[in-house]
Amino acid sequence: MTPARFDGYGVLITGAGRGIGAATARLLASEGARVLVTDLDAGRADAVAAEIRADGRVAEALVCDVADRAAVEAAVAYAVETFGGLDVLVNNAYACSLDSTLFEDEQDETWHRDLDISLGGAYRCSRAAMPHLAASGRGAIVSIGSVNGLQDFGNHAYSAAKAGLASLTRTLAGHAGPRGVRANLVVPGTIRTDAWAGREAELDRVSALYPLGRVGEPEDIAKAVAFLASSDAEWVTGTSLCVDGGLTAVNTGFRNAVTG
């Protein structure tokens, strides 16, 4: 029998109580990883970890606010102590606020919150995890970006944060490569998560813009994370992998307009 890709790995995932983070936790655990499910919501984190354990896999849950350096360092320390080391960090936690109608009405608090969680959180987690990832000999950081960091889909602060996360991924790759740690970014398009609850009609309209004819599912992103975190991608670092159904490669709206 072929060994699972993550046998013996210790993994920490932020924002893993639902959506992409939860799907990633389930997938990596199914392939042998011991997963620390962190989230601001204790109930959500506990539920995902319990589901994984019920499947005969290893998972722990912990509340972690990625905007709090002490909480981040405590989460990394807990993972290292519980699993005997840390091999993979998945930076998934984010904040995304609605834009004001007029840009001049945007609030500093909103701007700072989105950047501090979506970008600052990945910075704090990567900083705390780095020595342990380097010590593992197979360390990998996989961060979750967004097509918002590539093109205009709204959400000023969130988009700026995701663009910054792509840059952070590249600089981390350059710094950490000689230490044996890889850093990569997954760039999702529209994903069917709780953020779209009650907006099924919008998702149906959006689906028509995707060359592959549908929006993504959390599992689509989890599979990309698993690839980049595994030894299958051992010569891949500093890259941004678009998992977006072709949205940023093909202007479907324009093509439809000119072809009738």
Just list the catalytic residues.
158, 162
Distance (Å, rounded) from C-alpha 166 to C-alpha 171? 9
Distance (Å, rounded) from C-alpha 215 to C-alpha 170? 27
Residues in contact with 120: Cβ distance below 8 Å, sequence separation at least 6, in sequence order: 66, 67
Q: Could you tell me the two tokens for 227?
A: 């690839």
SS3 230: coil
Amino acid code (one letter) for 236: V
Task: Tell me the C-alpha to C-alpha distance, in Å, between residue 58 and each of 22, 101, 159, 211, 226.
Answer: 14, 46, 35, 38, 17
Distance (Å, rounded) from C-alpha 85 to C-alpha 131? 10
Distance (Å, rounded) from C-alpha 98 to C-alpha 89? 28
Residues in contact with 191: Cβ distance below 8 Å, sequence separation at least 6, in sequence order: 19, 20, 215, 216, 217, 218, 220, 221
Question: How do beta strands 34-39 and 58-63 pair?
Answer: parallel
